[in-house]
């Protein structure tokens, strides 16, 4: 029997990068998968890839920063598959600029908090509601190394990810006796469109790319699959005594 057979897994940010790898991995391991993303065509394509290889998948267009979208996402999930056993909240955005706190554009600051923190909170809130109704479940939030230590010139992102870790730890305590576990993964540099084309545009900047590589003791970036594997493990029965943990996935960076 596959590890997630007869389980329903919900993945946000499933159109790209870490979320895409997570959704595909859940499907390979037997889960029915609900994929949510603001990017519709790419999200539907991942769902189609799962169906083409014999799995069951539903794509739901969704902006996690909009409460009504999350209510709809949970509703569609329950209508289609009846429950949510595992949720991986991966959707997030990076900052567009590098600026110290006093110069950071206010609109960008608020947007990162709205998507990365408020949006993740909406996801967790309504997933918990469903998991309480059905008697249990597991949640993983994809936070960041920037949720563990400060990141100069990237304060809203770091603040949003520190907030996610605070949410995860608090919720873990609140639901510890309710058969609901909630953990975070905190990756350093993972080779995805976000980091290659985002704030520091590593794809176009060999010096910044080398810096990002050197940050890990392994002297390489991580791959999306290497984060997905940890998220699936945290959702599985193999991690049954772990809750409230914010786990660095960092190639030894914080060793």
Ligand X SMILES: NC(=O)c1ccc[n+]([C@@H]2O[C@H](COP(=O)([O-])OP(=O)(O)OC[C@H]3O[C@@H](n4cnc5c(N)ncnc54)[C@H](O)[C@@H]3O)[C@@H](O)[C@H]2O)c1
- Within the chain, how many helices (H) and strands (E) appear? 9, 7
Residue 46 or 172 with smaller CB distance to ligand X:
46
Cα 249 from Cα 215, distance rounded (Å): 12
Strands 180-187 and 86-89: unpaired
Beta strands in 46-179, from DSSP E residues, in sequence order: 57-61, 86-89, 137-142
Contact segment (CB under 6 A) with ligand X among 72-80, 86-94, 96-104, 200-208 equals: 86-94
Residue 63 or 236 with smaller CB distance to ligand X:
63
Please tell me whether residue 247 binds ligand X under the rule CB under 6 A: no
Q: How far is the CB of 232 from ligand X (least distance, A)?
A: 15
Which of 37, 88, 182, 184 is close enough to bind ligand X by CB under 6 A?
Answer: 37
Residue 104 known to be catalytic: no
Please tell me whether residue 93 binds ligand X under the rule CB under 6 A: yes
Please tell me whether residue 23 binds ligand X under the rule CB under 6 A: no
Spatial CB neighbours of 13, under 8 Å, sequence gap ≥ 6: 19, 36, 37, 64, 89, 90, 91, 92, 142
The residue of the chain with the least Cβ separation from ligand X equals 17
Please tell me whether residue 130 binds ligand X under the rule CB under 6 A: no
Spatial CB neighbours of 19, under 8 Å, sequence gap ≥ 6: 11, 12, 13, 35, 37, 88, 90, 91, 142
Cα 131 from Cα 136, distance rounded (Å): 5
Q: Are 227 and 142 in contact (CB under 8 A)?
A: yes
Residue 92 or 137 with smaller CB distance to ligand X:
92
Nearest to 92 by CA among 227, 236, 240, 254: 227
Contact segment (CB under 6 A) with ligand X among 48-56, 84-92, 105-113, 123-131 equals: 84-92
Please tell me whether residue 46 binds ligand X under the rule CB under 6 A: no
Which of 8, 10, 70, 90 is close enough to bind ligand X by CB under 6 A?
Answer: 90
Please tell me whether residue 127 binds ligand X under the rule CB under 6 A: no
Please tell me whether residue 32 binds ligand X under the rule CB under 6 A: no
DSSP reduced 3-state for 161: helix
For residue 217 the two structure tokens come to: 């003791």
Cα 39 from Cα 52, distance rounded (Å): 20
Cα 94 from Cα 53, distance rounded (Å): 32
Please tell me whether residue 62 binds ligand X under the rule CB under 6 A: yes
DSSP reduced 3-state for 45: helix
Please tell me whether residue 64 binds ligand X under the rule CB under 6 A: yes
Please tell me whether residue 165 binds ligand X under the rule CB under 6 A: no
Contact segment (CB under 6 A) with ligand X among 24-32, 102-110, 191-199, 235-243 equals: 191-199
Active site residues: 157
Chain residues binding ligand X by CB under 6 A are: 12-13, 15-19, 37-39, 62-65, 90-93, 115, 119, 142, 144, 187, 189-190, 192-195
């Amino acid at each position: 029997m596959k590890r997630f057979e007869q389980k329903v897994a919900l993945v946000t940010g499933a159109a790209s990068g870490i979320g895409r790898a997570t959704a595909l991995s859940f499907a390979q391991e037997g889960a029915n998968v609900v994929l949510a993303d603001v990017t519709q065509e790419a999200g539907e394509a991942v769902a189609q890839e799962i169906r083409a290889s014999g799995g069951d998948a539903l794509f739901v267009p969704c902006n996690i920063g909009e409460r009504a979208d999350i209510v709809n996402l949970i509703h569609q999930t329950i209508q289609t598959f009846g429950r949510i056993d595992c949720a991986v909240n991966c959707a997030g955005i990076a900052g567009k600029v590098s600026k110290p706190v006093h110069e950071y554009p206010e609109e960008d600051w608020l947007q990162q908090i709205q998507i990365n923190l408020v949006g993740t909170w909406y996801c967790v809130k309504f997933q918990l509601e469903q998991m309480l109704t059905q008697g249990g479940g597991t949640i993983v939030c994809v936070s960041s190394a920037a949720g563990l230590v400060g990141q100069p010139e990237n304060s809203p992102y770091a603040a949003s990810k520190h907030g996610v870790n605070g949410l995860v730890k608090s919720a873990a305590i609140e639901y510890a006796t309710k058969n609901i576990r909630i953990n975070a993964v905190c990756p350093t540099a993972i080779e995805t469109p976000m980091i290659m084309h985002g704030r520091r545009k590593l794809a176009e900047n060999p010096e910044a790319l080398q810096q990002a590589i050197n940050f890990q003791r392994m002297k390489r970036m991580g791959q999306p699959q290497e984060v997905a594997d940890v998220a699936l493990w945290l959702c599985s029965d193999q991690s049954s005594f772990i809750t409230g943990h914010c786990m660095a996935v960092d190639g030894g960076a914080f060793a």
